Amino acid sequence: MRREQWETFKKAARLEKLDGVPMALIIDSPWIPGYLGLSHMDYYLDPELWFRSNLKIHEEFPDIIFVPSWWAEYGMAAEPSALGAKIKFWQDNTPSQYQTLVRIEDLESLPEYEVEADAFMGLTLHRIRMHRQRILDTGEILPLVTARGPLCTAGFVRGITEFMIDLIEKPEWSHKLIDRCTSLIIDWLKAQYATMGDTVEGIFLLDDIVGFINEDHYMEFAHPYLKQICDAFPQHWVKIYHNDADVTACLDHLPDCGFNVLNWGKQTDISEVKERVGDRMCLMGNVNPLEVGVRGTPDEVRAATLEVLEKSGGRGVILSVGGGASPGMPRENILAMLQALDEYNAH
C-alpha cells in the first residue's frame, strides 16, 4: 500500500468526502499462491518467494488498495498456535488448526504465552523484520497490524463446536478463555507495531465466529472484548473489522466498539447495512466473493459491482468483495470490478 493510498483509505474510513469511491481487496495466502501458481508450502517457507509474490501482485494491480498491505501470515495459525493449538500444513492449501484444549478447565494449566517468540507469532515477526526495509524501499508502507479476533482464536484452541457449547453450559470458563485470547491479541498487535515501526496507524481484526452467536451472546461474550481491543490503541487509528459470517446480530453495536470500517459477507445486503450503520461506519464491500467473484463472468461481476455501488450511494463506502479475495478469483474479474468502478466514478 502506497502512502497516498493509505491517506485515501483513512479519509474513507472517517467518512470524509472523496472525489470517487476507492477499491480495496483483502488478499492473503488463501488467494495469492493459487493466483500465481505456487505451492502454499513454498509461499510460507521461502521468504524471497513471499516477498516477490506480494510485490508482483501490487505491481499488477496498482489501482487497488491491498489490505493490510504486505501481510506476513501463516493462514490463521499465528494466534491459536501461541496457545497450543495443533497446526497442520498442506502443499496446496492453507494450514488447518486442531484443538488441544480438550477440557476448558485445563485453561489454567496452559503455559504463559510470549508473543515475540511463540510458535508462528515468532516466525511472523521475524519475517516482518527481514523484509520491512525492503518493503519501504519499494515506496510502500505498513500501515496496519493484523490479528484474528478473540472468539475466532478461542474457537480454534477449544474447537468451534465445543466452544459454542461452552458459551451455554460453562459461561464463566468461556469468559476466562476469551479474556486470555483478548490479552494475547492486544499483545500480538502491539508486538507487530513495535516491529513494523511508525508507519502503523491502524488495526485490522478478523473474527467470523462472532457471526455464529445471537445478539444477547454477542453483547456478553464478544462486544466487551472487541471494545477492549479497540480501546488499547490510539483513538485516531483506523480500526477495521472483518466478519464474512452473518453480521445481523452484531451490526448495530460494532461502531460502539470503536471500529470505523466494516468488511462483511454476502449474507446481508448493502442496503440494510447502509441503513443500520452507514452513518457510523465506512462499509468495505460487498460484491459476492464466490458465486460472482470466482464463478461469475466479467459481465456478471460488472453488473454486481454497479449494483453495490448504486445501493451505497457512493458515500461512506470502499468497493470490495464481501470478505477477502476467495481462492480462484481470476484476473479478469478483478479488472471487471475496477472497470465498473471507473464507470461509476465517471458519472
Q: Is position 7 within any domain?
A: no
Reduce the DSSP state of residue 65 to 3 states and report it.
strand
Residue 337, domain member (yes or no) = no
340 assigned to some structural domain: no
Per-residue model confidence as pLDDT tens for the chain (347 residues): 999 999 999 999 999 999 999 999 999 999 999 999 999 999 999 999 999 999 999 999 999 999 999 999 999 999 999 999 999 999 999 999 999 999 999 999 999 999 999 999 999 999 999 999 999 999 999 999 999 999 999 999 999 999 999 999 999 999 999 999 999 999 999 999 999 999 999 999 999 999 999 999 999 999 999 999 999 999 999 999 999 999 999 999 999 999 999 999 999 999 999 999 989 999 999 999 999 999 999 999 999 999 999 999 999 999 999 999 999 999 999 999 999 999 999 98
| DSSP strand pairing (86-88 vs 65-67) | unpaired
Instruction: Tell me the pTM.
Output: 0.97
> In which region does residue 283 sit, left (phi positive, over 0), alpha (psi from -120 to 50) or beta (all else)?
beta
Is residue 326 assigned to a domain? no
317 assigned to some structural domain: no
Domain total in the chain? 1
Q: Is residue 2 part of a domain?
A: no
CA distance 203 to 313: 27
Q: What is the DSSP letter of 221?
A: I
Q: Could you list the residue range(s) of the whole structural domain that residue 196 is in?
A: 20-265
Number of residues in the chain? 347
Q: Rounded to the nearest 5 degrees, what angle is found at the Cα of 315, between the Cα atoms of 310 and 321?
A: 60
pLDDT of residue 347: 84
Helix (H), strand (E) counts: the chain: 15, 10
* pLDDT given at position 158: 97
Give the domain CATH number at 82: 3.20.20.210
Residue 187 lies in a domain: yes
The pLDDT assigned to 278 comes to 86
In a domain, 331, yes or no: no
Angstrom distances, CA of residue 325 to CA of 253, 265, 292: 26, 12, 11
